[in-house]
């Protein structure tokens, strides 16, 4: 075997690792733990593309490094296997979601095994397996026990074509993002989780996390804490009043009208006879608009109710309007409008010619009739509060409102409770029954698991019941002797991923979700890597469940993921003709710097885009493995650029890495496939080696993997084709091993080692190796050359003088004399002038 032959080497080592369970995490263990985690994949029908291994490779390299550093590493993999896309595929293909899931998982696993990741496959989990989801149901019971799960009639996004409700994030412009099918608003009885009870902690505990600033900011925005006041407005000529929420109580004197949300309970009773028809029509129309839509819309619409409110600070009568830019689900569903200082109110006031009165001083030249002023300033037109700065004013007016019993200070959150049920089949059944008397009962733990029954029709029933209503036998049960039916909604896909990192700690436990011993050893995830698209939902939901489990005394840490890293997306070149049709890159040729469909005159244009089947630009990692080998694929993914950067894939870029690995091979392996003889130590080579160790060490602390690879390349160039000494060679193979583990294991074994190098101690960086080669210094006495000395290039003046004075040719000339001058020319010369 004189050639570097990755396909042979790689299969051999992958089998070896599997067979000997080399990467099984120890438990119990005396070693310190390190828990690395990639966001587990959704096993879709299209398999992995070269974007997936990016984060897996980075985590794998880190996991391998930590093992060599003496940690007991937990590096697991599993499947986020429930969910709507599989159910849709099942409908399309006329097959069962369970069958499709099994097939897709097998395909994903086959691909992952070929990529040489050091996962502990004995800990593999799947959220759709009953051994897993019985514990998801168990956690639901905990939530229910704590009053954090409840049924409520809520407005939902109902997609008639899919026959299910959708999450807010799944609806854009009134359409289901996956299919473009229309979505309407409906009131439905749904399971809700009270995530709002954790709003303050979810916000506060962000401060202790080592997460990307952008992700934390997105969570802060999503939680949306604001401080302000609730203020009571009387309705003129009645005994009634309503309460508004405002973050700017300091602008109360500038309120020139009020607005109720169309859904506000007072709308009907305060609307005057003449206005009734118009108002009702408006309220009806608003029903079909989503909150997002209502907020985003620049055009302001609304209707006057015919009634007036009394502004509590100046007793002015101001009109009460109904408008859909005020949402019923936020604050109190009613506002005081201050057009001078709020952009939305300003736009509305302009549309309906309502007065705009400034109450905060504006900068020179600002025309308040043309544009709202939202900045700071001092109070004007505000009675006895005039001249106060806004911050003092805010505190003072809240105090005054509280004294007058007209209002109170108030903190609000944008965060809403989590709509936790779906009218779908392929999800976790709720451990809940409904008895004939209309009561709802959470089942006891002993009733778990509630298995998902096998049914073949996944569309909701004709009367709008979820598909599980068809599972007659499963559906009917009893509760304390009473007839009962099971809950037919299922949990959303987010449920399974809320706690999977805990199950990996103790995946085969069938008496508990995880043992207290396992969780007290593994604690939390040391580093979690995944796409930034999960910045809010998954990461917020998982944090919420973790905190509930913490409150139940079931986990020892307040937060699940100590450090988070977002890898950048890998894009790919796609080719499209002038009418928008995509072509596979292999069907495209380049002529005169232009691209054409092979053998035709149809010009195509190249673009860098997200990889997708429809754009024909996905690259299968196994194709790269076939052509170049897994080690090359792994290293190229890391060498493309900083891990967090978005970058385009170029298969041809693998050639450089492949050449590098070929050089490594030839350096250590002779033409008969035997390890070459080592040579003697060389200072320059040792320096290049330690530069590479240093760069690798620093890289691991910040997830930087491209520059360490270039230092390894520099090492190979410095070596210039002669095998270094034994120690240097072994250290080099060790630092290469996390990146290109197969070739490293092979060379290691050619050196006669029988064991994997996965647990060999990681080399220790030696800063002295970086010291430049020595320099020569000329020493004179009375201007005459008397000696030459070699010193380290970094030696100080004092050190050099010391060495010079002790040199035998010098010391005898200085003896009995007095040095009157020491002439020192750095890096060159010393001249002692004596008397």
Q: Cα–Cα distance between 126 and 496 in angstroms, integer?
A: 9
- Give the count of beta carbons closer than 10 Å to the beta carbon of residue 25: 23
592 torsion bin: left (phi>0), alpha (psi -120 to 50), beta (else):
left
Number of residues that bind ligand ANZ (CB under 6 A): 18
- 251 near ligand ANZ, judged by CB under 6 A: yes
- Judge whether 421 and 491 are in contact, CB under 8 Å: yes
- Contact between 358 and ligand ANZ (CB under 6 A)? no
**Distances in Å between the alpha carbon of 745 and those of 65, 119, 690?**
14, 17, 21
Q: How far is the CB of 251 from ligand ANZ (least distance, A)?
A: 4
Q: Considering the rule CB under 6 A, would residue 346 count as an interface residue with ligand ANZ?
A: no
Cβ atoms within 10 Å, residue 21: 10
Buried b or exposed e, range 126-145, using 16+ CB within 10 angstroms: bbbbeebbbbbbbbbbbbbe
Distance CA 131, CA 135 (A): 7
| Minimum gap (Å) between residue 270 Cβ and ligand ANZ | 17
Of 40 and 325, nearer to ligand ANZ (C-beta) is 325
CB-nearer residue toward ligand ANZ: 245 or 639: 245
- Considering the rule CB under 6 A, would residue 258 count as an interface residue with ligand ANZ? no
Q: Does 362 bind ligand ANZ (CB under 6 A)?
A: no
Give me the residues paired with residue 407 across strands.
231
Complex with ligand ANZ: residue 111 or 328, whichever CB lies closer: 328
Q: Does residue 231 contact residue 312 with C-beta atoms inside 8 Å?
A: yes
Among 123, 248, 634, 813, binds ligand ANZ (CB under 6 A): 248
Binds ligand ANZ (CB under 6 A): choice among 80, 120, 342, 487: 342
> Applying CB under 6 A, does 235 fall inside the site for ligand ANZ?
no
Query: If binding is defined by CB under 6 A, does position 104 make contact with ligand ANZ?
Result: no
Near ligand ANZ in 463-502, by CB under 6 A = none
- Candidate segments 146-154, 335-343, 497-505, 654-662, binder of ligand ANZ by CB under 6 A: 335-343
Q: How far is CA 412 from CA 227, 245, 394, in A?
A: 6, 9, 16
634 interacts with ligand ANZ by CB under 6 A? no
In terms of CB distance, is 326 or 830 closer to ligand ANZ? 326
For residue 324, state whether it binds ligand ANZ (rule: CB under 6 A).
no
What span, in angstroms and rounded, lies between the C-alpha atoms of 468 and 453? 8
Q: Note whether 188 and 153 are within 8 A (CB).
A: yes
Verify cis geometry, omega within 30 degrees of 0, for the bond prior to 343. Answer: no
Tell me which stretch binds ligand ANZ (CB under 6 A): 56-64, 328-336, 559-567, 745-753: 328-336
The answer to whether the beta carbons of residues 196 and 222 sit under 8 Å apart is no
**Residue 654, interface with ligand ANZ (CB under 6 A)?**
no
Q: Nearest distance from residue 452's CB to ligand ANZ, in Å?
A: 39
Q: Which stretch binds ligand ANZ (CB under 6 A): 40-48, 105-113, 327-335, 793-801?
A: 327-335
Task: Indicate which single residue of 260, 335, 669, 696 sits in contact with ligand ANZ (rule: CB under 6 A).
Answer: 335
* 164-203 residues near ligand ANZ, rule: CB under 6 A: none
415 counts as binding ligand ANZ under rule CB under 6 A: no
Which is closer to ligand ANZ, CB of 81 or CB of 335? 335
x-or-dash string of contact with ligand ANZ, 384-413, rule CB under 6 A:
----------------------------x-
Shortest Cβ 271–ligand ANZ spacing (Å): 19
What is the 8-class DSSP label of residue 360? B
**Would you give the DSSP letter of residue 26?**
P
Please state, in angstroms and rounded to a whole number, the distance separating the CA atoms of residues 396 and 403. Answer: 11
Helix (H, G, I), strand (E, B) or coil at 829: strand
Using CB under 6 A, which residues numbered 205 to 234 contact ligand ANZ?
226
3-state secondary structure 138-174: HHHHHHHHCCCEEEEEEEEEEECCCCEEECHHHEECC
* Contact range with ligand ANZ by CB under 6 A, out of 151-159, 245-253, 314-322, 565-573: 245-253
List, in order, residues 6 or more apart from 233 with CB less than 8 Å away.
241, 242, 243, 244, 258, 309, 310, 311, 312, 334, 336
- Choose, by CB under 6 A, the member of 245, 522, 595, 668 that binds ligand ANZ: 245
The span of 244-252, 603-611, 651-659, 824-832 binding ligand ANZ (CB under 6 A) equals: 244-252
The string over 798-814, giving b where at least 16 C-beta atoms fall within 10 Å of a residue's C-beta and e elsewhere, is: eebbebbeebeebeebb
Residues making contact with ligand ANZ (CB under 6 A)? 226, 245-248, 251, 261, 326-327, 330-331, 333, 335-336, 338, 341-342, 412
């Amino acid at each position: 075997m004189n050639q570097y032959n990755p396909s042979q080497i790689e299969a051999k080592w992958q089998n070896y690792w599997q067979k000997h369970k080399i990467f099984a995490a120890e438990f119990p263990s005396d070693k310190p733990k390190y828990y690395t985690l990639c966001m587990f994949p959704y096993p879709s029908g299209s398999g992995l593309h070269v974007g997936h291994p990016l984060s897996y490779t980075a985590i794998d390299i880190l996991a391998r490094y930590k093992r060599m550093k003496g940690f007991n590493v937990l590096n697991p993999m599993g499947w986020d296997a429930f969910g709507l896309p599989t159910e849709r595929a099942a409908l399309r293909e006329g097959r069962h979601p369970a069958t499709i899931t099994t097939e897709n998982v097998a395909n994903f696993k086959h691909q992952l095994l070929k990529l040489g990741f050091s996962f502990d496959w004995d800990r593999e989990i799947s959220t759709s397996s009953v051994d897993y989801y019985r514990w998801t149901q168990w956690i639901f019971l905990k939530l229910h026990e704590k009053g954090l799960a409840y049924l409520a009639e809520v407005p939902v996004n109902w997609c008639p074509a899919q026959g299910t409700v959708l999450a807010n994030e799944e609806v854009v412009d009134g359409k289901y993002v996956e299919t473009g099918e229309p979505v309407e608003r409906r009131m439905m009885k749904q399971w809700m989780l009270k995530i709002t009870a954790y709003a303050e902690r979810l916000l506060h505990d962000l401060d202790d996390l080592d997460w990307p600033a952008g992700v934390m900011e997105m969570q802060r925005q999503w939680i949306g804490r604001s401080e302000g006041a609730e203020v009571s407005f009387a309705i003129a000529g009645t005994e009634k009043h309503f309460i508004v929420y405002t973050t700017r109580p300091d602008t109360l004197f500038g309120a020139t009208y009020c607005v109720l949300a169309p859904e506000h309970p007072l709308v009907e009773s305060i609307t005057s006879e003449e206005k009734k028809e118009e108002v009702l029509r408006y309220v009806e129309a608003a029903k079909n608009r989503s909150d997002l839509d209502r907020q985003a819309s620049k055009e302001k619409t609304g209707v006057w109710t015919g009634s007036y409110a009394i502004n509590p600070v100046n007793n002015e009568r101001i009109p009460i309007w109904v408008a859909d830019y005020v949402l019923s689900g936020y604050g109190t569903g009613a506002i005081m409008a201050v057009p001078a200082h709020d952009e939305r109110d300003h736009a509305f006031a302009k549309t309906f010619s309502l007065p705009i009165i400034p109450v905060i001083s504006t900068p020179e030249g600002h025309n308040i009739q043309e544009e709202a002023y939202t900045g700071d300033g001092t109070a004007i037109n505000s009675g006895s509060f005039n001249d106060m700065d806004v911050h003092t004013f805010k505190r003072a007016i809240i105090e005054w409102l509280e004294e007058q019993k007209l209002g109170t200070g108030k903190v609000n959150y944008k965060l809403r409770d989590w709509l936790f049920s779906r009218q779908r089949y392929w999800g976790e059944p709720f451990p809940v029954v409904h008895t004939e008397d209309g009561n709802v009962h959470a089942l006891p733990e002993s009733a778990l698991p509630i298995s998902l029954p096998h049914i073949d029709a996944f569309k909701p029933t004709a009367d709008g019941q979820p598909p599980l209503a068809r599972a007659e036998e499963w559906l009917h049960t009893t509760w304390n002797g009473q007839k009962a039916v099971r809950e037919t909604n299922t949990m959303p896909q987010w449920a399974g991923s809320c706690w999977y990192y805990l199950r990996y700690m103790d995946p085969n436990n069938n008496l508990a979700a995880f043992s207290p011993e396992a969780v007290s050893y593994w604690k939390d995830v040391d580093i979690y890597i995944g796409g930034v698209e999960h910045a809010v939902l998954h990461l917020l939901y998982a944090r919420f469940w973790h905190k509930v489990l913490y409150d139940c005394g079931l986990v020892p840490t307040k937060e699940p993921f100590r450090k988070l890293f977002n890898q950048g997306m890998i894009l790919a070149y796609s080719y499209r003709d002038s009418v928008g049709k995509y072509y596979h890159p292999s069907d495209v040729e380049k002529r005169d710097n232009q691209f054409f469909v092979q053998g035709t005159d149809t010009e195509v244009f190249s673009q860098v885009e997200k990889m997708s089947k429809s754009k024909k630009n996905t690259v299968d990692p196994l194709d790269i493995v076939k052509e170049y080998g897994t080690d090359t694929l792994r290293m190229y993914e890391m060498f493309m650029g900083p891990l967090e950067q978005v970058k385009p894939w170029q298969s041809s870029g693998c050639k450089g890495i492949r050449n590098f690995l070929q050089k490594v091979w030839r350096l250590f392996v002779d033409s008969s496939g035997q390890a070459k003889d080592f040579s003697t130590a060389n200072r320059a080579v040792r320096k290049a080696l330690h530069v590479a160790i240093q760069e690798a060490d620093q890289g691991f602390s910040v997830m930087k993997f491209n520059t360490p690879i270039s230092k390894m390349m520099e090492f190979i160039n410095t070596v210039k084709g002669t095998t270094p000494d034994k120690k240097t060679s072994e250290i080099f193979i060790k630092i290469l091993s996390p990146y290109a583990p197969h070739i490293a294991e092979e060379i290691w074994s050619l050196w006669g080692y029988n064991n994997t190098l996965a647990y060999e101690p990681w080399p220790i960086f030696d800063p002295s190796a970086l010291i430049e080669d020595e320099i020569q210094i000329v020493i004179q006495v009375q201007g005459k050359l008397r000696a030459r000395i070699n010193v380290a290039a970094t030696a100080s003046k004092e050190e050099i003088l010391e060495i010079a004075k002790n040199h035998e040719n010098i010391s005898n000339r200085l003896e009995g004399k007095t040095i009157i001058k020491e002439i020192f020319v750095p890096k060159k010369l010393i001249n002692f002038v004596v008397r």
